[in-house]
Chains A and B, each alone.
Chain A
């Protein structure tokens, strides 16, 4: 799966 847009990592 392509990287999701919402950057939930710090």
Chain B
């Protein structure tokens, strides 16, 4: 464990908590893409199948349980409890265009052709594009509530901090995982224009407005 990975995990934890607070307090999931949340739930389910078979540490297990529970819980809140506030009209990104290519790629490009390894690889590839429906929805609505933009900033920062973690591990531990690194870079790059808007607008107290 290193400071970058810890900061990344805490940023990820913060993002999920911010999202749950937003939905619970406003009792609405307006502006949130349910499709992205479904993809995140798939990412965690396919990545944490070893939850009971491969114990790493109490921290690792606790975080996996939280991520699994919160992502499934968020899908429940969006599609069942606060279904009436879910914005179907703007959440239209075709997620099959994300699921199929990442599934095929994980069958072709992986470290080992085994069920667990392919599911892990699929989860890594899917996570790198899972935010697209959400970013697409923000571009379609043209704006986002400030709490939603804080959620996106924390979520985008988490994998950016993981990149620093991978640089640290390469130089100090001689460890690297090219699949996680390439996917992590793609994932972080997808947030770049949002990061620019967040830093230039939201941090100055303005609402996040995309140029129409």
Contacts and interface: CB of A to CB of B under 8 A. Distances in A.
Interface on chain A toward B: helix, strand, loop, or mixed SS?
loop
A7 B55 CA distance: 10
A10 B175 contact: no
**Size band of the interface chain B makes with A:** 20 to 34
Interface residues of A, number: 9
Interface stretch (B56-64, B87-95, B143-151, B194-202): B56-64
B54 A6 contact: yes
Contacts of B176: 1, 3
Interface on chain B toward A: helix, strand, loop, or mixed SS?
helix
A1 B175 contact: yes
A8 B60 contact: yes
17 contacts: A1-B174, A1-B176, A3-B175, A3-B177, A3-B178, A6-B54, A6-B56, A7-B50, A9-B5, A9-B162, A9-B165, A9-B180, A10-B12, A10-B60, A10-B63, A10-B64, A10-B67
Interface of A: 1-4, 6-10
Given A3-B177, A3-B180, 4 more contacts: A1-B174, A3-B175, A3-B176, A10-B67
